[in-house]
C-alpha cells in the first residue's frame, strides 16, 4: 500500500548568514573614506531559515536541507538549522559559507552584498522529496548548480517531485543585473513553470528576471502573476511590498496535477485572480525576510484548507508582522 503523505514541509535551497550593520546614514564606498556604522547583528537567513522559522511559528513540522561551508560561519548556520530540525540534512562542502551584508536603514529598502558560497553546490540531487506533501525550494534562481549551465538538474528535481506526487513550492530571488544569462530567464521560466506547483516570487524578483518591465505598477504585477499561471504554474503568489500581493490560480485539472497538497484543494481555488492589500505597519523594524514569511503563510494556508482570500490575507499579515519585528505565531499555533 502507498504510504500516506504527512503535512511535514521539506524546506530546502538557499541558506546563509546575514550580517546587518545598524545604519543611521548611507555608508560610502569611496576610496580612503570612513563611514561610522552601528552595532553588527549576525542572523542566520536565506529562504531555508526565514521560511522555516515562520512555518515553525505557525505550528508546522519541517525538515530542512541546506549546504554550508567548512568554516566558522558554517558552524553557526548548521547550529541554527538543527534548532529548526534536529534531523536536518546538512551538506558540509569545501567552500565558504554563503553570507549577505544587508545594508538597510530603518523604514527603508535594503541593499544586499551577497556571496553565494556553499549554495553554489546545491543541485537538488540529494533531496528526499517523496515523504512529504510539499517541498519548498527557496531562491532557486540563486542556486547555480541547479540552473547553470543548463536547466537539467532543475528539471530533473521537479520531475522527481511530480513522480512522487509531491507538491513543489518554488521561490525565486533577485538576480544581479550584470549576470551574463539574465536575458535567458523569461524563456527558462516558460520551460520550468509547467513543472511547478506553487511559485511565490516578489515583483522585484520578476523584474530582475525580465518577466516584468522596469518600475512595474500594480497592474503590471497582477498581469505578471496571471502570465505565470498561463505559462504553466498551478498557483502564483507575487508579493509587491507596500502594495500587498497578487494571487492567481489555474483550473481544477491543473491543480489536481500539482501534487497531493494541491490535489485536495476545494474547487474554490480554481481560476482565482485577486489582489490582497498590504497590512499597514506603523513602525518598520526591517524588511529582510518579509517575502519568505509571506510564502510560509501561503504554504500553511494551502495545507490547512484556507480559502484563497484568507490564504492571501494570512500571507500579507505575517509579512507585516515580520516587518514590524513582532511574534509570528497565530492563535492555535
Q: What is the DSSP string of 47-97?
A: HHHHHHHHHHHTT--EEEEEEEESSHHHHHHHHHHHHH-TT-EEEEESSPP
| pLDDT score of 3 more than 70 | no
- Alpha helices in 92-232, H assignment, sequence order: 144-147, 152-164, 185-192, 203-208, 218-230
Q: Decide: helix, strand or coil at residue 326.
A: coil
Q: For residues 41 and 54, what is the distance between their CA atoms, to the nearest angstrom? A: 20
pLDDT one-digit tens code per residue, 54-84 = 999 999 999 999 999 999 999 999 999 999 9
pLDDT one-digit tens code per residue, 176-199 = 888 888 889 999 999 999 999 999
- The 8-class DSSP code of residue 30 comes to -
CA angle in degrees (0–180, nearest 5) for 314-319-323 = 150
Q: Decide: helix, strand or coil at residue 261.
A: helix
pLDDT one-digit tens code per residue, 205-241 = 999 999 999 999 999 999 999 999 999 999 999 999 9
Helix, strand, coil percent content, the chain, rounded in steps of 5: 40, 25, 40
Within 10 Å of residue 138's Cβ, how many Cβ atoms?
A: 28
The residue extents of the domains of the chain are 6-14+47-70+120-323
Topology (CATH) of 6-14+47-70+120-323: 3.40.1190
pTM (predicted TM-score): 0.92
**Phi, psi angle pair for 163, to nearest 5°:** -65, -30
Residue with cell 550584470: 178
The predicted pLDDT at position 32 comes to 84
| pLDDT score of 105 more than 70 | no
Q: How far is CA 272 from CA 222, 229, 268, in A?
A: 12, 10, 8
Four-CA torsion 262, 266, 267, 273, nearest 10 degrees: -70
Strands (E), 203-332: 235-239, 245-249, 273-276
| pLDDT score of 4 more than 60 | no
pLDDT one-digit tens code per residue, 129-154 = 988 999 999 999 999 999 977 899 99
Amino acid at each position: 500500500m502507498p504510504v500516506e503523505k504527512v503535512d511535514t514541509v521539506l524546506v530546502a535551497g538557499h541558506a546563509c548568514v546575514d550580517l546587518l550593520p545598524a545604519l543611521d546614514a548611507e555608508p560610502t564606498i569611496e576610496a580612503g573614506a570612513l563611514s561610522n556604522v552601528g552595532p553588527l547583528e549576525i542572523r542566520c537567513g536565506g529562504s531555508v531559515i526565514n521560511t522555516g522559522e515562520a512555518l515553525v511559528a505557525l505550528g508546522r513540522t519541517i525538515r530542512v536541507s541546506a549546504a554550508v561551508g567548512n568554516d566558522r560561519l558554517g558552524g553557526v548556520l548548521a547550529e541554527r538549522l538543527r534548532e529548526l530540525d534536529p534531523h536536518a540534512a546538512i551538506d558540509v562542502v569545501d567552500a565558504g559559507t554563503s553570507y549577505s551584508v544587508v545594508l538597510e536603514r530603518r523604514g527603508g529598502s535594503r541593499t544586499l552584498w551577497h556571496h553565494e558560497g556553499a549554495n553554489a553546490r546545491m543541485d537538488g540531487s540529494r533531496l528526499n522529496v517523496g515523504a512529504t506533501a510539499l517541498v519548498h525550494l527557496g531562491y532557486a534562481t540563486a542556486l547555480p548548480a541547479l540552473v547553470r549551465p543548463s536547466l537539467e538538474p532543475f528539471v530533473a528535481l521537479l520531475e522527481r517531485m511530480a513522480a512522487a506526487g509531491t507538491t513543489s513550492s518554488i521561490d525565486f530571488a533577485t538576480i544581479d543585473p550584470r549576470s551574463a544569462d539574465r536575458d535567458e530567464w523569461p524563456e527558462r521560466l516558460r520551460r520550468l513553470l509547467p513543472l511547478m506547483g506553487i511559485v511565490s516570487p516578489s515583483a522585484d524578483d520578476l523584474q530582475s528576471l525580465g518577466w516584468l518591465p522596469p518600475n512595474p505598477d500594480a497592474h503590471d504585477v497582477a498581469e505578471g502573476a496571471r502570465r505565470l499561471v498561463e505559462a504553466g504554474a498551478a498557483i502564483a503568489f507575487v508579493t509587491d511590498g507596500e502594495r500587498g500581493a497578487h494571487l492567481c490560480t489555474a483550473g481544477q485539472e491543473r491543480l489536481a496535477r500539482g501534487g497531493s497538497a494541491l490535489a485536495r484543494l476545494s474547487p474554490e481555488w480554481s481560476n482565482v485572480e485577486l489582489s490582497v492589500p498590504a497590512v499597514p505597519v506603523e513602525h518598520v523594524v526591517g524588511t529582510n525576510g518579509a517575502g519568505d514569511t509571506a510564502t510560509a503563510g501561503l504554504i500553511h494556508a494551502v495545507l490547512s484548507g484556507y480559502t484563497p482570500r484568507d490564504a492571501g490575507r494570512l500571507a500579507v499579515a505575517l509579512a507585516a508582522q515580520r516587518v514590524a519585528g513582532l511574534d509570528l505565531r497565530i492563535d492555535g499555533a
